[in-house]
Structures are given as structure tokens and as C-alpha cells.
């Protein structure tokens, strides 16, 4: 308790009990933190991606689309709280870094009864930017493929 753990590349750190260590996602990592107890994590998360590349899987929190996420903090860091529709705290995650205004943490099923948390803020902002320039984009797994709408080419006279 009180140490550090590092997730590199596509690594997965899975902890079934309480965890007091800080967790560092290495730059460029697409790894995952899997917690057996959402309320048992007292460390802080560093390097969490704004592009949905990293995730936190709460194995003991049955996914429910009516659960809510609330983030409060500053540019230095803050706390994300997941609550049930009955206002029961299901998980509290402390982050280091700027997850303030515009963050759009989201939850989804992990495919095995748990709840997975991601932050697709950059993807959301980029999709909005593409739309504002008169383009459309297709998103798939966080990747955006822009489609530009260019005027049709005119044929040269006599050609």
C-alpha cells in the first residue's frame, strides 16, 4: 500500500482487493486498470488518456446505464465519482491531470457484468471540430476517419 504501479503498452493491471498504490499509464499506453473493488481504490491515476485509449474496469459494479458519473477538480487533478440511480457511491477514482471542463467520462458494459470507464474527450472534441468545418467523420473504437466534401471537378473545355 502506498507504492506505485505502471501500465505499459497493452498491459493490464488487475487487482481483486483494495489498492492503495498510485497507477501510472505510460505515454502511448492502451492498457487497462481492472479493479475488483471500485470503492477499495485509494491511489491516484496518472497519465489516463483523453482519447479513450485507456480504461478502468470495475468488475464488481454491475453495469447500469442509469448510473451517473460526476467529476470535480482543477487542472492539477480531481475525483470522479460513479453513483447508482439510488445515489449510492459505487466507485471513487482520483486522477492527476486536467480533466476539468469539457471532460466527458463515459461508462459502458465491460462485456462480463462489470462497468468500464473511459474519457473520450479528445475524440468528442475532434468530431465536433470536423463537423464545424463542413466535414463528416466516421468513428470506430476512438479512431476518426474524416470525409471531406470537396466540390466536383469541372472538365476542361473541349475535354
Q: Where are the beta strands (DSSP E) in 8-132?
A: 12-15, 22-25, 32-35, 44-46, 55-58, 68-74, 77-83, 89-96, 106-109, 115-118
Residue 83 has pLDDT above 90, yes or no: yes
pLDDT band at 157 (very low <50, low <70, confident <90, very high): low
Average pLDDT over residues 7-20: 91
Separation of first and last alpha carbons in the chain: 76
Element (H, E) at 130: helix 121-132
* pLDDT score of 73: 85
Q: Which residue has the cell 477514482?
A: 93
User: Taking the model in full, what pTM does it have?
Assistant: 0.73
Q: Cβ contacts of residue 39 below 8 Å, gap of 6+?
A: 89, 90, 91, 92
Average pLDDT over residues 104-128: 76
Give the rounded percent of residues in the chain with a pLDDT score beyond 90: 51
pLDDT band at 61 (very low <50, low <70, confident <90, very high): very high
Which residue has better confidence, 128 or 4?
4
Residue 109 has pLDDT above 60, yes or no: yes
Amino acid at each position: 500500500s502506498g507504492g506505485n504501479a505502471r501500465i505499459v503498452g497493452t498491459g493490464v493491471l488487475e487487482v481483486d482487493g483494495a489498492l492503495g498504490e498510485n497507477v501510472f499509464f505510460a505515454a502511448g499506453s492502451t492498457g487497462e486498470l481492472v479493479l475488483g473493488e471500485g470503492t477499495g481504490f485509494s491511489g491516484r491515476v496518472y497519465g489516463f488518456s483523453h482519447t479513450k485509449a485507456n480504461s478502468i474496469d470495475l468488475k464488481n459494479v454491475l453495469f447500469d446505464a442509469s448510473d451517473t458519473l460526476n467529476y470535480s477538480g482543477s487542472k492539477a487533478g480531481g475525483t470522479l465519482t460513479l453513483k447508482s440511480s439510488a445515489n449510492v457511491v459505487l466507485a471513487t477514482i482520483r486522477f492527476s491531470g486536467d480533466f476539468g471542463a469539457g471532460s466527458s467520462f463515459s461508462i459502458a458494459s465491460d462485456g462480463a457484468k462489470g462497468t468500464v470507464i473511459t474519457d473520450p474527450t479528445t475524440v468528442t472534441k475532434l468530431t465536433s471540430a470536423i463537423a464545424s468545418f463542413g466535414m463528416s467523420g466516421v468513428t470506430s473504437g476512438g479512431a476518426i476517419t474524416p470525409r471531406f466534401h470537396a466540390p466536383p471537378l469541372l472538365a476542361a473545355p473541349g475535354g
